[in-house]
Amino acid sequence: MVTEEFLELVDHFPYRAWSYILKNILAVILISISVSGCATVNPSIPNDYYGPRAIIIDSENRIDKGKADLFYLSHINGLKIKDSRSESLRASYQQGNNLTTVILETEVPSRKQIFTIVGRTEYAMPARAFVGAVYEVKGDISFTPAPIGKYVIKGTLGKYTSTVWIESVLQPDEIIGRIKAEGSSKLGFFKK
């Protein structure tokens, strides 16, 4: 509700002052939005951990030079870590339709933890992602990696079913955990 006092104040305030105030407010809003997009990336091994370690290796299924299905570790115990998707997007920046995939090998403590694994279709060009299908499946797997163990994240992405899993490199038949999405795992336009 606008009061008479407010209207009198507005009449006495020059246009330049209003322009200055609105520009500053807009600047604060834009800076707040741009800073809020930054995500903290945590180390995969805590600074105070000196025990045995294992390695978890990400993987890819290359579809063409500008498209691949990535299978990667994204979080440990709910904390975001450096991941293959972010590194691949960074490496592919301003390279047109050339997706330069960066497949990480992440060292992790050999203790019981919750690992968030993801399978996702990735394109080099955002325009291709908007018109093409982007599939994603993700979930949490709780397990204790063996000391000096090596594990790989693999998966399949498709129209009717998508699956991502962790398997032992030394014993490929040993599936540690599996996340399966029945039905379409295709992302909507605004989630790509």
Q: Are residues 10 and 74 in the same domain?
A: no
pLDDT at 105: 97
Residue with tokens 């006495």: 12
pLDDT at 3: 65
pLDDT at 77: 95
Q: Are residues 26 and 66 in the same domain?
A: no
**Residue 44 is assigned to a structural domain of this protein:** no
Q: For residues 64-75, b (16+ Cβ closer than 10 Å) or e, as one string? A: eebbbbbbbbbb
Q: Are residues 67 and 17 in the same domain?
A: no
**Residue 87 is assigned to a structural domain of this protein:** yes
Q: Are residues 89 and 160 in the same domain?
A: yes
**Residue 70 is assigned to a structural domain of this protein:** yes
**Residue 23 sits in which domain range?**
4-36
Give the count of domains, the chain.
2
Single pTM value for the model: 0.78
Task: Answer for the pair 85, 104: CB distance below 8 angstroms, yes or no.
Answer: no
pLDDT at 33: 58
pLDDT at 64: 95
pLDDT at 168: 93
One-letter amino acid of 69:
D
Nearest to 116 by CA among 62, 182, 56, 173: 56
Q: Could you read off the pLDDT tens digit of each residue along the chain, which spans 192 residues?
A: 566 665 565 566 665 555 656 666 665 665 655 555 556 888 888 888 899 999 999 999 999 999 999 999 999 999 999 999 999 999 999 898 999 999 999 999 999 999 999 999 999 998 888 888 999 999 999 999 999 999 999 999 998 899 999 999 988 788 889 999 887 887 776 676
Residue with tokens 């903290």: 40
Cα separation, 71 vs 177, in Å, equals 14
